[in-house]
Amino acid sequence: MNTWDNGFRGKPGQGMSHTLSFGGAASFFRVPYQTDMTGVDVVVTGVPLDIATTNRSGARLGPRAIRNASLSLAWERPWPWNIDPMTALRVIDCGDCEPVTDDLLSVAHIEAHIANIIGAGAAALVLGGDHFVAYPSLRAHAAVHGPISLIHFDAHTDTWPSSGNGINHGTMFYQAAHEGIVNPASSTQIGIRTTNDDTLGFHIVSAADVHQTTGRDIASQIRARVGGKPVYITFDIDCLDPAFAPGTGTPVPGGLSSFQALSIIRELKGINLVGMDVVEVAPAYDHAEITALAAAQIAVELLCLYAESHRQRN
């Protein structure tokens, strides 16, 4: 009989865990905590940083909240997928990225952390933290794959030019596009419902567009745009309407439902997914773990998408 904590003694690839949902180590979906990435397919890591926010802080506690909420979902494969990502993939949780200097808003230490995961032959699933953390993650991925096609779920475009005070969570994709890290011509932003007249060439699917069509139609647009190019999915939880995700720093009414967002993700099978993140969960503003639970569900379905997409491509 297995009487130990799966977070410490489990093995990558052994499937969903049936251990207690209300006790034990809060690793992501009960996968083992370990730093040895040998033979691992996906490494889950947190980046608990929120000093690049421009509104309410608190997303530094997001990785912990997402892991905690994931425990209640870890008992069986996600519906309606026919694949258990924890069996199809060898997944570990390596813990959080910690700064090596006093400069918390350092691109270098986060980029090096993600580069270490990629260098070990694994894909990274990053839990934020504010959305700034996507920028160093994209830099690490672009160093290996070249310019990245971005699938970006958000209420905001995050492509505003810097005010001169460095990169924040609303400017990093402007910076990424101008550096050539991200290719706007093959990228799509979904759920946008704030004004920014300069799209930089990104394809915008507004929240209103999503409400007027289906997840299948939106996914078809995205797949046609990205083709077989390397894709990074970044999911800002404020893409969801505040009714479904109140616990975030910059909520905007009129957003997607959890079902709409998940419907789009489920229809993206076959893309060349190389990296992913879920960010901007701020539990201080959450209620009954609504936001953290939505983020955990989105994150595990990104794992399902990664497993299914790579199975189709191989």
Q: Which residues are annotated as a binding site?
A: 131, 154, 156, 158, 236, 238
CA 249 – CA 252 distance, rounded (Å): 10
Instruction: Collapse the DSSP code of 253 into the 3-class scheme (helix H, G, I; strand E, B; otherwise coil) and give the result.
Output: coil
Give residue for tokens 């969801």: 240
**What is the separation, in whole angstroms, between the first and last Cα of the chain?**
36
Instruction: Find the helix packing angle between 62-70 and 290-313, rounded to 10°.
Output: 80
Instruction: Collapse the DSSP code of 231 into the 3-class scheme (helix H, G, I; strand E, B; otherwise coil) and give the result.
Output: strand
Q: Which residues are annotated as a binding site for Mn(2+)?
A: 131, 154, 156, 158, 236, 238
CA 94 – CA 97 distance, rounded (Å): 9
Strand ranges (E), 97-227: 123-128, 149-153, 188-192, 203-206
The full DSSP string for 199-227 is -TTPEEEEHHHHHTS-HHHHHHHHHHHHT
CA 55 – CA 167 distance, rounded (Å): 15
Cβ proximity of 193 and 255 under 8 Å? yes
Cα 305 → chain centroid: 12
